[in-house]
A and B are shown apart, each in its own frame.
Chain A
Amino acid sequence: MADEVILLDLWASMFGMRTRIALAEKKVKYEYREEDLENKSSLLLEMNPVHKKIPVLIHNGKPVCESLIQVEYIDETWPGETSLLPSDPYQRAHARFWGDFIDKKVNVTARRIWATKGEEKEASSELIEILKTLEAELGDKRYFGGETFGYVDIALIGFYSWFGVYDKFGNISIESECSKLIAWAKRCMQRESVAKALPETEKVTTFISQCLGLE
């Protein structure tokens, strides 16, 4: 039976990138639909009436909302050869904890760098602290889960395409503060699923600069 999979998304969304990566890792064929946040489609409003946000994954007409919930859904629905989460319950709990940490801390802080006036300095130093915590968790491992690319990598990597924005508006250099994290990001970028899902950093930076009326 043919699966119908639709993803309602925004090219620059670091959350949508998670779902794109997960689908690609599992080699699931899907239709990508770009949403316009100023003019949300009736399908988006119907499929995510609670939050009216992207990404929304629609599988055979049924919606799954929230990017990390989508990643778990994808892992469970298309088990295949690659697992996005480890099989051991404790390792899974560990991965979910870090996914939750990324969700609670990264965007909330990072947004303040460019979206709120006057908070760049404070927010950018807070962001560096958060990234250093993640870097410490990564340690000397190839990926957050060890040898295998997975859930926590997927949760975080989309933000890499936004590092240019944070550097520019926060007047920082994430590369010089978190070199191990950048090395990890470059390793992830060598995966086809990631390279195809992430936009170029310059494109994101230009887009945000334009939104702020600076270009």
Chain B
Amino acid sequence: MAEKEEVKLLGIWASPFSRRIEMALKLKGVPYEYVEEILEKKSPLLLSLNPIHKKIPVLVHNGKTILESQVILEYIDETWKHNPLLPQDPYERSKARFLAKLVDEQILTAGFVSMARADEKGREVLAEQTRELIMNLEKELVGKDFFGGKTVGFLDVVAGSVIPFCLERGWEGIGLEVITEEKFPEYKRWVKNLEEVEFVKDCIPPKEKHVEHMNYMGERIRSG
């Protein structure tokens, strides 16, 4: 007899970190309650569940709290074993984890800094740095529909939530072209594949609202 599962996710509509958790839960067919948080006004619930970092996403599963998006993804994968996110082979798993770390640490940072720069030259330098980093993902996609092979996996939800469905919206807002078809054909093909997957589509922030939001955030940083 199945125990009643209670799954709650605290997130923010524009955050790639909570969006990726939604993708994973939907991939696994796990029903959950979503709680929208406001960055400038964090709820007492969030602060009590994540006193150390005070950040989303927070997953609560049958009363247990799990923090940090990549840690949450691995928890989801280990708890609901069907439709696996990570490959079985330890070496392939280490590669997926390595590239996921590259996305969240270096690519995300370089990408955001490129938007935060007010001068065109500064932006182009950061854009070029970001391109070099994304080339590591481009190489990994050769001959594959997704990073996970034939199906969406761990690195797809990590990189997907950050690059096409977050950074690219920011770049669009400021008219900066970072990822071209010419230099990144595999990446472009992968994004098209992702956009056709039902549960990924369901978890992408609405485009116009998102571009506007990224512009607003960028403006705030650029002006001081």
Co-complex (A, B): yes
Q: Which residues of A contact B (CB under 8 A)?
A: 50, 59, 62, 64-66, 69-70, 72-73, 76-77, 89-90, 92-93, 96-97, 100-101, 133
Given A64-B91, A73-B91, A90-B66, CB of A96 within 8 Å of CB of B71: yes
B102 contacts across to A, CB distance below 8 A: 50
Q: How far is the CB of A93 from chain B (nearest CB, A)?
A: 4
Is A73 in contact with B64, judged by CB distance below 8 angstroms? no
Among A50, A89, A96, max chain B CB count under 10 A is at A89
**Complex interface: chain B residues within 8 A of A50 (CB):** 102, 136
B75 at the A interface (CB under 8 A): yes
Task: Using CB atoms and an 8 Å cutoff, list the residues of chain B in contact with chain A.
Answer: 52, 61, 64, 66-68, 70-72, 74-75, 78-79, 90-91, 93-94, 97-98, 101-102, 136
> Distance in Å from the Cβ of B17 to the closest Cβ of chain A?
13
Decide: A69 and B101 in contact? CB cutoff 8 A.
yes
Closest 10 CB pairs of A and B: A89-B78, A76-B90, A93-B75, A96-B71, A73-B94, A64-B94, A93-B66, A77-B90, A89-B79, A69-B97
The interface residues of chain A lying within 8 Å CB-to-CB of B68 are 96-97, 100
Cross-chain contact B98 with A65 (CB below 8 angstroms): yes
| A73 (CB) vs chain B CBs: closest residue | B94
CA distance A178 to B53 in the complex (A): 22
Main SS class of interface, B? helix
Closest approach, in angstroms, between the C-beta of B1 and any C-beta of chain A? 20
For residue A75, which residue of chain B has the nearest CB? B90
From the candidates A66, A73, A100, name the one contacting B90 in the complex (CB within 8 A): A73
- Among A62, A66, A89, A133, the residue within 8 A (CB) of B75 is A89
Taking a contact as CB atoms under 8 Å apart, the answer to whether B75 and A69 are in contact is: no
Q: A59 to B91, Cβ gap below 8 A?
A: yes
Interface centre among B78, B90, B93, B94 (most CB of A within 10 A): B94
Query: Which residues of B lie under 8 Å from residue A76 when comparing CB positions?
Result: 90, 93
Which residues of A sit under 8 angstroms from B98, Cβ to Cβ? 64-66, 69
Bound Cα distance from A133 to B51, whole angstroms: 11
Chain B residue numbers with a CB within 8 Å of A92 are: 74-75, 78
Distance from A7 Cβ to chain B, minimum over Cβ atoms (Å): 15
Chain B residue at minimal CB-CB distance from A49? B136
Given contacts A66-B98, A90-B66, A96-B68, 10 further A-B contacts (CB under 8 A): A50-B102, A62-B91, A64-B98, A65-B98, A69-B101, A72-B94, A73-B94, A93-B71, A97-B71, A101-B52
| Closest chain B residue, CB of each to CB of A60 | B91
Cα A89 to Cα B93 with chains together (Å): 17
In the complex, the answer to whether A100 meets B52 with C-beta atoms within 8 Å is no
Tell whether, in the assembled complex, residue A93 and residue B72 are in contact, meaning their CB atoms are under 8 Å apart.
Answer: yes
Return the chain A residue nearest B67 by Cβ.
A97
Q: For B72, B98, B101, which residue has the most chain A Cβ atoms within 10 angstroms?
A: B98
Q: Which residue of A lies closest to B100 (CB)?
A: A69
Q: Which residue of A lies closest to B81 (CB)?
A: A89
- Give A72 to B79 CA distance when docked, in angstroms: 18
- By beta carbon, the residue of chain A nearest B64 is A90
| Chain A nearest Cβ from B7, distance in angstroms | 13
Chain A residues, Cβ within 8 Å of B72 = 93
Complex Cα distance, B97 from A101, in Å, reads 17
Q: How far is the CA of A178 from the CA of B94 in the complex (A)?
A: 34
Q: How far is the CA of A160 from the CA of B57 in the complex (A)?
A: 32
Determine whether the beta carbon of A73 is less than 8 Å from that of B71.
no
What are the residues of chain B within 8 A of A90 when measuring CB–CB?
61, 64, 66, 75
- The smallest beta-carbon distance between A152 and chain B, in angstroms, is 13
Verify A72–B97 contact, CB threshold 8 A.
yes
A133 in contact with B52 (CB, 8 Å): yes
Within the assembled complex, what's the spacing in Å between the Cα atoms of A65 and B98? 7
Q: Min CB distance, A81 to chain B, in Å? A: 18
Bound form: Cα–Cα A100–B66 in Å: 13
Mind listing 19 A-B residue pairs with CB under 8 Å? A62-B91, A64-B98, A66-B101, A69-B94, A69-B97, A72-B97, A73-B91, A73-B94, A76-B93, A89-B75, A89-B79, A92-B78, A93-B66, A93-B71, A96-B68, A96-B74, A97-B66, A100-B68, A100-B71
